[in-house]
Amino acid sequence: MKVTAIVRIAIALVILFYLGLLPAAAQCDGDVIELEFMNWWGAAREAQMDTLIGHYQAENHCIKEINQVQPWDTRAELLSTAAASSYPPGIIMSTRPETYQFAINGLIIPIDSFVEAHSTDLSVFYDGEIGLQYWNGELYGLPMPTAGGLTGLMIYNKNLLRDHGFDPEDPPETWQELEEIAAAITVADPMGIDVLGAAAFGSDSEFVAWLYTNNGKYVSDDGRTLLFNSPEGLETLEWMVNLTNNINHGTENVTDFFQDTAFAQGDHPWYEDQQAFLHINTAFFGHFNVNDPEAYADTESWGTMLRPYNGDNADAHSAGSTGYNYSGAWAFTIPAVHPPEKQEAAFKFAEFIGVHELGGCAFLFAQSRPSPVQACNENPEYYNVNPYWSVVLEALALDTPVQITPVQGQMAEILSNNIEEAYFGVKSPADALNDAHTEMQALLDEFWAEFDADNM
Counted residue by residue, the chain has a size of 456
pLDDT tens for 232-273 read 999 999 999 999 999 999 999 999 999 999 998 899 999 999
pLDDT band at 128 (very low <50, low <70, confident <90, very high): confident
- 277 and 207 within one domain: yes
Number of domains in the chain: 2
- Contact 91/349 with Cβ under 8 angstroms? yes
pLDDT band at 326 (very low <50, low <70, confident <90, very high): low
- 237 and 169 within one domain: yes
| Domain termination site, one of 376, 396, 416 | 396
- 249 and 137 within one domain: no
pLDDT score of 390: 94
- 442 and 300 within one domain: yes
Strands 331-333 vs 399-401: parallel, antiparallel or unpaired: unpaired
pLDDT score of 328: 59
328 closest CA partner among 410, 399, 229: 399
- 448 and 353 within one domain: no
In a domain, 94, yes or no: yes
- Alpha helix segments (H runs only) across 200-339: 204-212, 231-242, 251-257, 283-291, 293-297
- 347 and 205 within one domain: no
- 285 and 168 within one domain: yes
pLDDT score of 27: 73
- 192 and 76 within one domain: no
| Residue 257's CATH number | 3.40.190.10
pTM attached to this predicted model: 0.80
- Contact 78/70 with Cβ under 8 angstroms? yes
Our CA dihedral for 130, 131, 132, 134, rounded to 10 degrees, sits at: 100
pLDDT band at 286 (very low <50, low <70, confident <90, very high): confident
pLDDT band at 333 (very low <50, low <70, confident <90, very high): very high
Lowest model confidence (mean pLDDT) among 57-66, 179-188, 438-447: 57-66
| Domain termination site, one of 380, 396, 412 | 396
- Contact 118/62 with Cβ under 8 angstroms? no
- Contact 404/97 with Cβ under 8 angstroms? yes
In a domain, 214, yes or no: yes
pLDDT score of 22: 38
Hey, what amino acid is at 151?
T
Q: Tell me if residue 86 falls in helix, strand or coil.
A: coil
- 142 and 38 within one domain: yes
- 280 and 226 within one domain: yes
- Kindly provide the b/e burial profile for residues 116-136, where b requires at least 16 CB atoms within 10 angstroms of the residue's own CB: eeeebebebbbebbbbbbbbe
* Structural domain span for residue 213: 153-324+402-454
- Long-range contacts from 430-437, C-beta under 8 angstroms, 24+ separation: 430/234, 432/237, 433/228, 433/229, 433/233, 433/234, 433/237, 434/229, 436/229, 437/226, 437/228, 437/229
- 82 and 227 within one domain: no
- Kindly provide the b/e burial profile for residues 143-165, where b requires at least 16 CB atoms within 10 angstroms of the residue's own CB: bbbbbbbbbbbbbbbbebbeeee
Q: What is the DSSP letter of 174?
A: B
- 249 and 314 within one domain: yes
In a domain, 7, yes or no: no
In a domain, 18, yes or no: no
